[in-house]
Structure 1
Amino acid sequence: MSTTRIAVLIGSLRADSLNRKLALALAGLAPQDVHFEHLRIDDLPLYNQDHEGNPPESVKRLKAGIAAAQGVLFVTPEYNRSIPGVLKNAIDHASRPYGQSAWAGKPAGVIGISGGAIGTALAQQHLRNILSYLDMPTLGQPEAFIQSKEGLLDDQGRIGVDATRQFLQGWVDRYLAWVRKHAQA
């Protein structure tokens, strides 16, 4: 049985990130033949086109992680009604130089959690616009705008609310089917 590799980009650097906890919970809902690899983005320098010819090791590592994966999962908070700068920076690095984007053709999933009533709806919409330009087929349904509540997620990725667990299980199942449908050989 071959392993399906999913590159995970978490748009929060916070040690106690709700989105990191959500990413762990999603991985826990996947079958044994799926490996979720959290790609590091906290050490990427700010994108500068002058460095494209000789990118730093952190950028090479990011692009290699994306290339090795059959799909990409973006787990993002919402900052000021959009995606965090650290996530946009990672997206820009891996899309360059022009014609050498690591993103092209990679099936994507977008999800996020926040304390607000609309979850990360606006950040997800902005991210979907970017992913469309990058030629990433992105799962459209079901959408998942998760509002954090006390006891919803713990540090080990356990989901404390049965209805949320069932919803997220359905989301993971649909996302993995999407990846398998669109993954490049």
Structure 2
Amino acid sequence: MQKKSIGIIVGSIRKDAYTKKIADFLISKTPEGHTLETINIADLPLYNQDYDETDEPENYSIFRKKVKAKDGIIFITPEHNRSVPAALKNALDVGSRPYGKNVWDGKPCFVISSSVSGISGFGANHHLRQSLTFLNMPALQQPEIYLPNVQDYFNDKGELIKEDTASFLTESLKTYLDFASKFIK
């Protein structure tokens, strides 16, 4: 049986981002039969429709090929001004253009949001889901994952130390992979 390949898009491009630490934790819990890989969005130039009619940046092509090769996508995002970070929105735009060549199309997805406040990325989570609906990405609806005060979840080595959250994320990953298997051919 061929392994199912799942991409992880980390919404923050900050070097020590909590969302990156969450991604690393999920990768460490990858069940047999699957691979999880982070897809970098930090070096994508801002989407510009002019590129659709001329030579696109090489980073666009590389990114689009990586996303297209994945069987599903996990989005892990912080909240910026009650929405997703600009880098994440840009990645969605780059992957969905030019019109008719949406590399996100039909890929089952999973959304995890977090914040350093008690709001836990609720606004980002739901703004992202609006875009995912338009991009034709079936999203796991339950469990919903909102991680508040995420700065308290990790030790100095970047390891997840909140045992209840670790268990919840591990079980949620399994739930997502079961959900995604219904869409993966």
TM-score, normalised by the number of residues in structure 2: 0.93
In structure 2, runs of 5+ residues without a counterpart are none
2:9 equivalent in structure 1: 9
Residue 141 and residue 157 in structure 1: after superposition, are their counterparts in 2 closer, same or farther (change >3 A)?
A: farther
2:142 equivalent in structure 1: 141
Q: Secondary structure at the match of 1:26?
A: helix
Q: Structure 2 matches for 1:20-169, cutoff 5 A?
A: 20-53=20-53, 54-149=55-150, 152-154=153-155, 158-169=159-170
Percent of aligned pairs sharing the same letter: 38
Is residue 112–residue 145 contact of structure 2 (8 Å, CA) maintained in 1? yes
Q: Secondary structure at the match of 2:80?
A: coil
CA distance in 2, matches of 1:120, 1:50: 33
Residue 149 and residue 86 in structure 1: after superposition, are their counterparts in 2 closer, same or farther (change >3 A)?
A: closer
In structure 1, runs of 5+ residues without a counterpart are none
Q: How many residues align?
A: 184
2:180 equivalent in structure 1: 179
TM-score, normalised by the number of residues in structure 1: 0.93
RMSD (Å) for aligned C-alpha atoms: 1.6
- Superposition deviation, residue 14 in structure 1: 0.7
CA distance in 2, matches of 1:55, 1:177: 36
Moved more, 116-125 or 155-164: 155-164
- Superposition deviation, residue 161 in structure 1: 1.8
> Runs of at least 4 residues of structure 1 off by over 2 A?
148-151, 153-159
AA partner of residue 119 (structure 2) = I
- Superposition deviation, residue 156 in structure 1: 6.1
